Amino acid sequence: MDELELRYLRSLSKQYPNIAAASTEIINLQAILNLPKGTEHFMTDIHGEYEQFNHILKNGSGSVRRKIDEEFGNTLSNKDKKSLATLIYYPKEKLEIVMQEEDNIEDWYKITLYRLVQITKHVSSKYTRSKVRKALPKDFAYIIEELITEKAEVQDKEGYYNEIVNTIIRIGRAPEFIVALSNLIQRLVVDHLHIVGDIYDRGPGPHIILDTLRHYHSVDVQWGNHDIVWMGAAAGSLACIANVIRMSARYGNLDTLEEGYGINLIPLATFAMEKYADVNCDIFSIKFNTDYNTKDLSMDMKMHKAIAIIQFKLEGQIIKRRPEFMMEDRLLLDKIDFEKKEITIGGKKYPMRDVDFPTVDPDNPYALTQEEAELMERLRQAFSRCEKLQKDVRFLFSKGGLYKVHNSNLLYHGCVPMDEDGNFIKVDIFGKEYSGKALYDILDNYARKGYYGRRDSGEKSKGEDILWYIWSGPNSPVFGKDKMTTFERYFIEDKETHKEKKNAYYRLYDNEDVIDRILDEFGLDRDKSHIVNGHVPVERKKGESPIKCGGKLLIIDGGFSKAYQHKTGIAGYTLVANSHGMRLVSHEPFESTEAAIRKESDIFSDSIVVETAIQRLCVSDTDVGAELKESIHQLEELLLAYHDGNLIEKSVYE
C-alpha cells in the first residue's frame, strides 16, 4: 500500500473509525445498490407556460395516477381515482371544495387518509428509510413514519394505527395532514427532474416556473437558446438585454419584466414616446393573448420598434468586433437605401416595408445615439441590480449547463453542429477551433465567464459576446440554424428571406452512424444510451414522430407553448424513465388550473413505451450506483487496512 493511498484511508478512518463502523456502511451501501432505480422526469421547451408546467410536474406525467392504479386496481372506481389524483395534485384547493360539499366530512377524512397512507407506502417502498425520512414534512414527520412503516394486518398494532388516524381527525389536523401527505407523494413519485431547455419567452410565467424549480428537491437544467439570452441579459450584455425586451414586447409579455422581475421600463417608454411619437410602428404589432391590456397597445408598439432598432445596432457592433463569429451576413442596416426604400441582401434588392428609423444615421448606422446609449446603460443597471432575476440566473448556472450525461442518457437542447456528411463542424472561438463535445465545453466555460467575470476583464467581455453568439450564432449548438432572420421578418415582405436553414443534424438524426458518433464523442455506450433533446417542435399532426433513429434519439418538444400548438397538434411531450424502462407521454392542451381542480381533468393523453428493461433496473445500474460501488471499494480497502494492521481502529468506547 503506497503512502498516498494510506493517507486517503487515514482520512476515511475519521468517518469510520473501526471495523464495525466500516462494515455497517458497506452492508448499507450494498443494500441500496439493489433498490429499484428512481424515476426521472424530462421536460423541455416550457416557454413560460407555468400553469401547464406546474400541473405536469404535480402529476409526474401520469406517474401519480399510475401509482393509484397499481395500488387500488379495480377496488376503486375511475371517478374515485380521479378525485384522489386531483386531491394529490392540488390538496389545498380541492379540500376547500370538499369541505363545502361533503355532508359527513369526518367519514371523508377517514377514507381519504387511509387511501393517501396506502399510496405513500407504495411510492416510498423503493427508497431507504433514511431517504424517506429526509423528505418528510417537519410538522408530521414522526406520525407519517409510524403510519407508513406499521402494518395494519398485525393485530396488536391495528388499534394503534387506527387511533393515530382518529386522533388526527378529532383534533382538527386532518386538512393539514392531507396536504402534507399529498405533497410527500408528489415528492416521492419523481426522484429527479431534467429540464432540457427553454424556460423563458412567449408564455407569461417563466419567473414563476423558476421559483418552483429553485425549491424542487432534485433538478438539472440544460440551457436552451431562450434561457441563454436571459442569462446574457442578467450578465449585462446589451445585445441580450435588447433581445429580451424586444421579445417580451412582441409577445405582449412586458409584464414579466415589469411585474415578475420589477425591472423599470419607464425610461424605454419615455424614450419611445419622444423619438417615435410621430413614427409609423404598424409592422411592430403585438402578438398578445387574452390577458393583454390593449390600452397599452400603441405605447408597446413604439417601445417594440425602439428596442428592435437598438438591438440591430448592438448586434452589428458585436459582429464587427468579433469577425471570428463569421456573421457578416447579419450586417443589414448599412445595406439599406433609405431613398429608394429597399435593401440589398445577397446581391438581390428587396423593397422594405418600413424605413422610418429616426435614430439611425445612414452614414454610421450601427452607432447608438447618445440617448440610446444612456437608455441602454440604465437598462443594464436595472437588469444587473434585479435581485429576483439574478437569483434565477445564478440557479441556472449552478444547476445547469449546455449538456449533461446522466444514467446513460445524453441531454442537450438543440444539436451537435455538423456538416452534411455528419462530421462535427470546427468553430473558431477566439483564435482556436473546437468541435463536438469540446465546442460545448468551451462555450459553457465562456458563458460562465460572461456572468461571473470581473466587469473590467477582457474575459468577461468575451463571455458576454459568447452568450449572445450561443443565442443566435450559425454554429451554436442551442440555436442550430444558419441565421436568425429577425430583421427580414419585420421589414421584408418576401418570405424567401425569412428562411432559416437548420443544421445538417436535423437531416441526419435518423442515421445510426451519426447518432453513434455523437454518443462516442460524449463517452457513452452506443448500445444502451439515448440522446434526449428539444428545441424543434415535433409536428405530430403531420405524422411526425418524436422517436428518431430506432429510439436512440428522442425529441421531446411537442408544443408546450401555445404559440406552437397549431403546428404540433398537441401541447407538449414529456419523458419518464423508471426502473421498468422509458415512456414518452404526449399532452393535450391545458385549459386552466381551476378547470383541472373542479372538473378533475388530467392532461396526459397518450403514452408510448420507448424501451422496456429486460430486468428491473436498480440503483446499481445508475451513475449514483457507480459512485456507491467506488465507496464500497474504498471501505473494503479500509477494512483490509484494519485487518492487516496498517491502520489501528479506534475503540467504540472512546
Instruction: Supply the pLDDT for residue 290.
Output: 59
Identify the band that residue 108 occupies on the pLDDT scale cut at 50, 70 and 90: very high
What is the separation of C-alpha 568 from the centre of its chain, rounded to a whole number of angstroms? 20
Q: Is the dihedral of CA 562, 46, 200, 515 positive or negative?
A: negative
Distances (CA, A) of 644 to 528, 634, 650: 41, 15, 15
C-alpha to C-alpha distance for 32 and 177, rounded to whole angstroms: 29
Question: How many degrees, rounded to 5, is the angle at CA 218 between CA 118 and CA 624?
Answer: 95
pLDDT given at position 233: 98
More confident position, 537 or 505: 505
> The cell 372506481 sits on which residue?
77
Other CB atoms within a 10 A radius of the CB of residue 594 amount to 11
157 pLDDT more than 90: no
For 10, the 3-state DSSP assignment is helix
Q: Judging by beta carbons within 10 Å of its beta carbon (0-12, 13-18, 19+), is residue 34 exposed, middle or buried? A: exposed
Q: Is the pLDDT of residue 650 over 90?
A: no
Distances (CA, A) of 97 to 87, 466, 571, 597: 10, 52, 28, 9
Q: Are 390 and 234 in contact (CB under 8 A)?
A: yes
- Output the CA torsion 259→233→503→426 (10° steps): -160
What grid cell was written down for 424? 462535427
Domains of the chain, residue spans: 3-35+621-644, 40-196+534-617, 220-385+425-501
Residues 9-22, mean pLDDT to the nearest whole number? 94
Largest distance between two CA atoms of the chain: 95
pLDDT of 156 reads 65
Give pLDDT, residue 193.
Answer: 96
Measured torsion, CA atoms of residues 202, 293, 303, 280, in degrees rounded to the nearest 10: 110
* Cβ–Cβ < 8 Å for 595, 603: no
What pLDDT is recorded for position 187? 94
Share of residues in the chain with pLDDT > 90 (%)? 73
- Which has more confidence, 584 or 289? 584
Sign of CA dihedral 555, 561, 566, 569: positive
Torsion sign across C-alpha atoms 607, 603, 52, 202? positive
Q: Give the pTM.
A: 0.91
Q: For 182-195, b where at least 16 C-beta lie within 10 A, e where not — what string?
A: bbbbbbbbbbbbbb
Residue with the larger pLDDT of the pair 600 and 176: 176
pLDDT band at 62 (very low <50, low <70, confident <90, very high): confident
Query: 576 pairs with which residues across the strands?
Result: 41, 583
Distances (CA, A) of 56 to 32, 80, 579: 29, 20, 20
The pLDDT of 15-19, averaged and rounded, is 94
Q: Is 416 helix (H, G, I), strand (E, B) or coil?
A: coil
C-alpha cell at 127: 427508497
Which 8-state DSSP code applies to residue 604? E
Packing angle, helices 141-149 and 174-189, rounded to 10: 70
Altogether, the residues listed in the chain come to a count of 654
Q: What pairing do the DSSP bridges indicate for beta strands 553-555 and 530-533? A: parallel
Going from the C-alpha of 449 to that of each of 204, 365, 442, the distances in angstroms are 29, 30, 11
User: Any idea what DSSP says for residue 418?
Assistant: B
Cell of 439: 465546442
| Rounded distance between C-alpha atoms, residue 523 and residue 281, angstroms | 52
The answer to whether the CB of 556 falls within 8 A of the CB of 46 is no
- Buried (b) or exposed (e) across 36-72, using 16+ Cβ within 10 A? bbbbbbbbbbbbbbbbbbbbbbbbbbbbbbbbbeebb
Q: Rounded to whole angstroms, what are the CA distances from 251 to 46, 246, 286?
A: 15, 9, 6
**DSSP assignment of 484-538, as one string?**
--HHHHHHB--GGGG--PBPTHHHHTT-HHHHHHHHHHTT--TTT-EEEE-SS--
Alpha-carbon gap, residue 593 to 50, rounded angstroms: 10
pLDDT at 611: 77
Place of cell 464587427: 320
User: Could you tell me where the DSSP H helices lie in 277-433?
Assistant: 297-321, 370-384, 387-399
H or E element at residue 575: strand 573-578
The mean pLDDT value for 200-224 works out to: 94
Residue 218 pLDDT: 95
* Contact in structure between 564 and 545 (CB atoms under 8 Å): no
Torsion angles phi and psi, residue 557, rounded to 5? -95, 110
* pLDDT at res. 564: 55
146 pLDDT above the threshold of 90:
no
Q: Grade residue 594 by pLDDT with cuts at 50, 70 and 90.
A: confident
25-41: average pLDDT: 94
181 to each of 185, 216, 595, how far by Cα in Å? 6, 17, 23
- The three-state DSSP-derived secondary structure of 114-127 is HHHHHHHHHHHCCC
CA–CA distance, 607 with 582 (Å, rounded to integer) = 10
Mean pLDDT of the chain: 91
* Minimum mean pLDDT range among 77-91, 427-441, 493-507, 588-602: 588-602
pLDDT in tens, 462-521: 999 999 999 999 999 999 999 999 999 999 999 999 999 999 999 999 999 999 999 999
The band of 151, judged by pLDDT with boundaries at 50, 70 and 90, is low
- Packing angle between helix 512-521 and helix 436-452, nearest 10 degrees? 50
Whether residue 20 contacts residue 653, with contact meaning beta carbons closer than 8 Å, is answered with: no
